[in-house]
Chain A
Amino acid sequence: MRDFSKGKRVNSSERFVADNHALLQHFDLSRNKSLRTLETTGASINTADDTASGFLGTILSSATSPAPLDLVVIYGDSDFGVMSGHFRCKPNPDCSCHVSAETRKYRTRVIQKQFRVFREVHSVRAFRLVLCADVFDCMVERAMKTLGGVVEAERVEGGLGNLCEPLIISERRSLRTTRLGEFQIGSQREWPSLGCAL
């Protein structure tokens, strides 16, 4: 088992150990007895890249809640290749008209790559993985298919490891009263303005 709390994973440099300690000081879950769900976004995992598993693993290493834990990863429209300029879609059961086949393949690979993070974090603290499509209604079907395809591909390749069967859901997790063009929280390291206060 990897011990994220002591910073033994991901380089053994002093810098990482120091950051890890600060992270634990900051996000200390040891006193929380009722935590059932840790949520994050696919976009922020992508952006954080190599540090995502260290971040999530370190925080979860401090969790002492006896309740089973869900790790909910939220995927927005952009995770499926729908960008801000495409929000005026006409009623259509499938927004694949906005996303090319190449883009869909690329996005699928990007999500699939995140399973490495999930496996590493799972080695620190067991959880049920929940993949949540938080997308426009017209994108729900496409998003669910994509997520299902990712899980299936991982299963075939043996990439699920010790992860139990991931749950795939479609749910509105973020309020959307703002324009799509605004940034999502955590999707960029330097986030220039508020995206969604409400």
Chain B
Amino acid sequence: MRETWPRPLQNSYDLGLLPFVRRLRIRLGTFDDTKFTPEWLDRRTLHYLSALTNLQELGIDHLQVFSFMPNIQQYFGYFSPTLRLLALKEPRGSCRQILYFIGLFPNLQDLHLHCLLHNDEQESTVDATLVPLSAPPLRGQLTLTFFAWEGLVKDMITFFGGLWFRSMELFRVTCVRLLLGECAETLETLRLYPTDPYGEGFLKREEGELK
């Protein structure tokens, strides 16, 4: 299947403008069955992406991390030297796979995750051997919304040697206590919402409703 990218990507490439791009957001629409897989990245598109030599912020919706494994570095490695912010909405994959993806960017400071439908996919034997290629500094902002994936946070702490975010924005997050404790020495700014249905009880109830 050949996927279509917006023409500005090609036009910008033709005009030599892609090295000036700082922020790339990949959204695939609102349909539940839309996934970002390697099928979206043919040779030509990868050629365009490789021209984003100064990309600092990358956002991807519905990234199917597992479908890019084990060669995910070939697809996103272009951004390794410059990327400072990564935003993932509903990424799919095991904890180790997501961590491996995050670890592709050794200069990452800010991380945004929205995982309402986080998967409890079992770690495969292959996943167990996956070790992130780097431990990004992650000293900027952490934004978590609709996040109940405590295991991912614990793995980040383990593999990245701790968390040192200076700023956090949290909404509907279960592992707030863990996060606040882990960043106790570094957290300077915290954004919360009085409408936050805090607490695991609410999320468990909601998960039950979703089923």
Contacts and interface: CB of A to CB of B under 8 A. Distances in A.
Q: Do A and B come from one complex?
A: yes
Interface of B: 23, 25, 30, 57-59, 61, 85, 87-90, 112-114, 116, 143, 145-146, 169, 171-172, 176-177, 180-181, 183-199, 201
Contacts of B186: 34
A90 interface: no
B113 to A, nearest CB: 8
Interface stretch (A5-13, A46-54, A95-103, A160-168): A46-54
A39 B191 contact: yes
Nearest to B24: A198
Nearest to A49: B194
B193 A198 contact: no
A40 B194 contact: yes
Given A32-B184, A198-B25, A59 B192 contact: yes
Pairs of residues from A and B, 9 with the lowest C-beta to C-beta distance, nearest first: A186-B193, A198-B59, A48-B194, A198-B87, A39-B191, A44-B193, A55-B194, A52-B194, A37-B189
A27 B112 contact: no
A35 to B, nearest CB: 6
Given A34-B185, A194-B114, A28 B177 contact: yes
A23 B194 contact: no
Interface of A: 22-23, 25-29, 31-41, 44-45, 47-48, 51-52, 55-56, 59, 177, 185-189, 191, 193-194, 197-198
16 contacts: A23-B198, A27-B192, A27-B198, A29-B190, A32-B183, A35-B187, A38-B190, A39-B192, A40-B191, A48-B193, A52-B194, A55-B196, A185-B171, A191-B171, A197-B89, A198-B23
A29 B176 CA distance: 10
B193 A40 contact: yes
B188 A34 contact: yes
Given A28-B177, A33-B185, A56 B30 contact: no
Contacts of B197: 189
B114 A197 contact: yes
A35 B85 CA distance: 22
Contact of A31 (B61, B89, B181): B181
Contacts of A186: 171, 193-196
Contact of B188 (A27, A36, A197): A36
A194 B146 contact: yes
Given A177-B23, A186-B194, 8 more contacts: A34-B188, A39-B191, A40-B192, A40-B194, A41-B193, A185-B145, A185-B193, A198-B112
Contacts of B112: 197-198
A94 to B, nearest CB: 29
A44 B181 contact: no
Nearest to B171: A185
B170 to A, nearest CB: 8
Given A197-B87, A198-B112, A189 B195 contact: yes
B198 A26 contact: yes
Contacts of B183: 32
A37 B184 CA distance: 14
Contacts of B169: 39, 185
